[in-house]
């Protein structure tokens, strides 16, 4: 083992965490917003809303994320004639893809709120959208928190896929250093450890939020 290779390249490698974090923030934030809209739309009674959105969700859930990234980065420019920089391509790919997954969590969360709540909201004079916004979603979001956190950790890990289109995020930098220094064992164990610490922190926060929720409910 040669830990020195990590020390020597630490500034370069850790520099990539900034980009990893940026990607994750955009992907989780954007994915969540779009996911809530899609999740609500999937429970809509309007066929023009329900069917296209269901198709969207089934479409993206049937494709590998990697392929969606390729589509956005290499092929959409061929179609539109306009180029997309790799950061934008990665972020858009993450958002449209992860929104499909978030929407399923949101849908299940909304369904878990009892029907009586919706009726109470409607009968107190709120419109359907207002009921959703002020009555259903606040309750639903609370029950969704654990799944949302779990999936956010997954997205954080998925940002490593941006590697394929040349974004120099954390894992790509590890990879570049390895190609130069040929210290695969040390470098990949180290990469795993860094992800493990960060993701465990995320998972742990999720568990605490979950416990807090339960206490509040009781």
Partner 1 sequence: MGLLNYHFDWSVLWRAPYGQMMIQGIFTTVHLSLIAWGLALVLGILIGVLRTQPWLPGRIFGAAYVQIFRNTPFLVHLFFWYYAAPLILPESGQQWLYDTVPNYAYWAGVAGLGMYTASRVAEQFRSGFSSIPADQYRAAYASGLRTFQVYRWVIIPYGFRLILPTITTEFLTCFKNSALTMTIGVMEITHTAYYIDSFTWHGLETTTAASLVYLTIAWTVIAVMGQVEKRVYIPGQIRKEG
Partner 2 sequence: MRVKKRLALGVILFLTATVFVCSAVAEPILEKIERTGVVTMAFREGSVPFGYMNQKGEWIGFGLDLGYEIHQALEQKFGKEIELVKKPMNPKTRIPLVVNGTVDIGIGSTTITLEREKVIDFSLPYFLTGTRLLVPKDSPIKDFSDLAEKRVGMGSGSTANIKGLDRAIAQGLIKPECQKMLFEEHNKGFLALQQGKIHAYFTDASILAGMKAKAEKPDDWEIAGRYLTYEPYGLLLPENQGEWRDFINAALVQIIKSGKFMEIYDKWFGPDGEVPLEMGDEYKALLKALSFPD
Quick note: the x/- pattern for partner 2 over 66-85, rule CB under 8 A, is --------x-xxxxxxxxxx
Give the residue with the Cβ less far from partner 2, 9 or 159: 9
Residue 47 touches partner 2, criterion: CB under 8 A: yes
| Binding of residue 171 to partner 2 (CB under 8 A) | no
Q: 191 is in the binding site of which of partner 2, partner 1, none (Cβ under 5 to 8 A by kind)?
A: partner 1
Distant-in-sequence, close-in-space partners of 191: CB < 8 Å, separation ≥ 6 = 170, 171, 174
Comparing CB distances to partner 2, the nearer of 62 and 125 is 62
C-beta of 5: minimal distance to partner 2 in Å? 11
Contacts 24+ apart (CB under 8 A), 158-163: 158/27, 158/65, 158/94, 158/98, 159/20, 159/23, 159/24, 159/27, 159/90, 159/94, 160/20, 161/65, 161/66, 161/69, 161/90, 162/23, 162/69, 162/86, 162/90
Judged by CB under 8 A, the chain residues 136 through 165 that form the site for partner 2 are 165
Residues in the site for partner 2, rule: CB under 8 A?
8-9, 11-12, 15, 47, 51-52, 54-56, 58-59, 74, 76-86, 165-166, 168, 176, 178-180, 182, 184
């Amino acid at each position: 083992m040669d830990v020195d290779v990590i020390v020597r390249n630490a500034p370069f490698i850790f520099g990539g965490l900034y980009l990893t974090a940026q990607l994750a923030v955009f992907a989780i934030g954007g994915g969540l917003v779009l996911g809530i809209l899609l999740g609500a739309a999937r429970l809509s009674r309007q066929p023009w809303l329900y069917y296209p959105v269901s198709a969207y969700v089934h479409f993206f859930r049937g494709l590998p994320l990697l392929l969606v990234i390729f589509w956005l980065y290499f092929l959409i420019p061929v179609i539109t004639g306009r180029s997309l920089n790799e950061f934008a391509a990665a972020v858009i790919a993450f958002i449209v893809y992860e929104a499909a997954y978030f929407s399923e969590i949101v849908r299940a969360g909304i369904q878990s709120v009892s029907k009586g709540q919706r009726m109470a909201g409607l009968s107190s004079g709120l419109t359907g959208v207002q009921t959703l916004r002020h009555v259903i979603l606040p309750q639903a979001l609370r029950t969704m928190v654990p799944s949302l956190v779990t999936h956010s950790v997954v997205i954080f890990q998925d940002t490593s896929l941006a590697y394929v289109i040349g974004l120099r995020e954390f894992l790509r930098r590890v990879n570049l250093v390895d190609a130069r220094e040929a210290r695969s064992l040390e470098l990949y164990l180290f990469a795993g450890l860094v992800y493990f610490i960060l993701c465990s922190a995320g998972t742990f926060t999720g568990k605490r939020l979950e416990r807090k929720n339960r206490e509040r409910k009781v």
